[in-house]
């Protein structure tokens, strides 16, 4: 397909309204592994309203899905989600009404047969006060759409991990039904539920959503770098590098340098790095 560069630059979605509540907040936390130990008092506040409910910060990426990706005019069968970057302007509330805007913030042409890179930016504010709450950027690799004469490049440079052993290592075994839980947050792609769809895509069984692995990494950093103080997270960025299967043990390597936390996620059973070049910025709790 041929990308219409001017049409992409003009594409805007404005003030799309979303409402979420405590149910969605608890469901997201469960879908990224919170609450597996019902006696863990540190995780209970993320899954039980009676313990002073708190939101997992990365839930922001599922709260304002404007559908802009479906309006890009690209070959949807040949896209990959390459990277996710999240900025939290303030602590995510456990319930709220949002107004979201989306646009294509950048497009890069890697050449015919090599594809294109698109950066899709969404900003959300609370309807109650009309002030910014969070923003995120999805990097999309459009493998079937290169050679349209657009600017060259490949997007932001990845964060470089420290060249030393990790300061902390956190391991969590994902639930066997993790993909079936996570899809209830809104991504109903059959690749994550239907064995036949997974087989057509070259997998022997349904795979976990990349953003579910992203959320599992957030859980690991909440434990390993924040003592579960979710209000300290200011940003959360990572690159997707390999698929995860529900039931995999995911090991997160964590490096702490002041308020900058670097991380990557591995599946030791397959010697695979599944999330890479991760960076989380911390600040003071409100």
Residues 109, 145, 192, 237: which is the catalytic one? Answer: 192
Of 86, 108, 142, the domain-final residue = 142
Residues 128 and 36 in one domain: yes
Structural domain contains residue 48: yes
Structural domain contains residue 150: no
Residues 137 and 27 in one domain: yes
Residues 190 and 234 in one domain: yes
| 22-31 vs 210-225: helix crossing angle, rounded to 10 | 90
Structural domain contains residue 71: yes
Residues 177 and 276 in one domain: yes
Query: Cα(191)–Cα(182) distance, rounded to whole angstroms?
Result: 12
pTM reported for the whole predicted model: 0.95
Residues 259 and 183 in one domain: yes
Structural domain contains residue 151: no
pLDDT the model gives residue 140 = 92
Residues 61 and 108 in one domain: yes
Of 107, 142, 177, the domain-final residue = 142
Return the CATH number at 246: 3.10.129.10
Residues 69 and 192 in one domain: no
Q: How many CB atoms lie within 10 A of CB 278?
A: 26
Residues 106 and 174 in one domain: no
Of 89, 124, 142, the domain-final residue = 142
Residues 14 and 125 in one domain: yes
What is the block-wise mean pLDDT of the chain (286 residues), using blocks of 10 residues? 85 97 98 95 97 98 94 85 97 98 95 92 98 97 88 90 98 96 94 93 94 98 97 98 97 98 98 98 83
Structural domain contains residue 153: no
Measure CA 261 to chain center: 17
Q: Which domain holds residue 108?
A: 5-142
Residues 135 and 193 in one domain: no
Residues 83 and 182 in one domain: no
pLDDT the model gives residue 144 = 87
pLDDT the model gives residue 285 = 65
Q: Which two tokens stand for residue 263?
A: 């991380």
Residues 137 and 15 in one domain: yes
Structural domain contains residue 18: yes
Task: Count structural domains, the chain.
Answer: 2
Residues 40, 75, 187, 229: which is the catalytic one? Answer: 187
187 is catalytic: yes
Structural domain contains residue 98: yes
192 is catalytic: yes
Structural domain contains residue 221: yes
């Amino acid at each position: 397909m041929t990308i219409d560069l001017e049409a992409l630059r003009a594409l805007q979605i404005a003030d799309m309204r979303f409402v979420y509540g405590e149910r969605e907040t608890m469901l997201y936390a469960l879908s990224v592994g919170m609450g597996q130990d019902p006696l863990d008092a540190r995780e209970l506040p993320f899954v039980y309203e009676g313990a002073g409910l708190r939101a997992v910060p990365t839930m922001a990426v599922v709260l304002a899905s404007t559908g802009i990706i479906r309006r890009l005019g690209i070959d949807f069968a040949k896209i990959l989600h390459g990277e996710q970057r999240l900025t939290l302007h303030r602590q995510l509330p456990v319930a709220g009404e949002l107004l979201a805007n989306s646009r294509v913030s950048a497009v890069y042409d890697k050449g015919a047969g090599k594809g294109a890179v698109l950066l899709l930016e969404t900003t959300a504010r609370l309807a109650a006060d009309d002030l910014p709450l969070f923003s995120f950027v999805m990097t999309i690799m459009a493998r079937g759409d290169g050679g349209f004469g657009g600017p060259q490049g490949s997007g932001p440079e990845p964060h470089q991990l420290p060249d030393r052993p990790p300061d902390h290592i956190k391991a969590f075994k994902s639930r066997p039904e993790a993909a079936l839980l996570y899809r209830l947050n809104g991504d109903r792609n059959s690749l994550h539920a239907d064995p036949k769809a997974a087989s057509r895509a070259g997998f022997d069984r349904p795979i976990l959503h990349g953003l579910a692995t992203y959320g599992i990494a957030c859980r690991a950093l909440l434990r390993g770098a924040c003592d579960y103080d979710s209000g300290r997270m200011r940003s959360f960025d990572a690159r997707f590098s390999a698929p995860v299967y529900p039931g995999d043990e995911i090991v997160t390597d964590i490096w702490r340098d002041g308020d900058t936390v670097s991380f990557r996620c591995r599946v030791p059973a397959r010697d695979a790095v599944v999330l890479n070049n991760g960076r989380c910025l911390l600040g003071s709790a409100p």
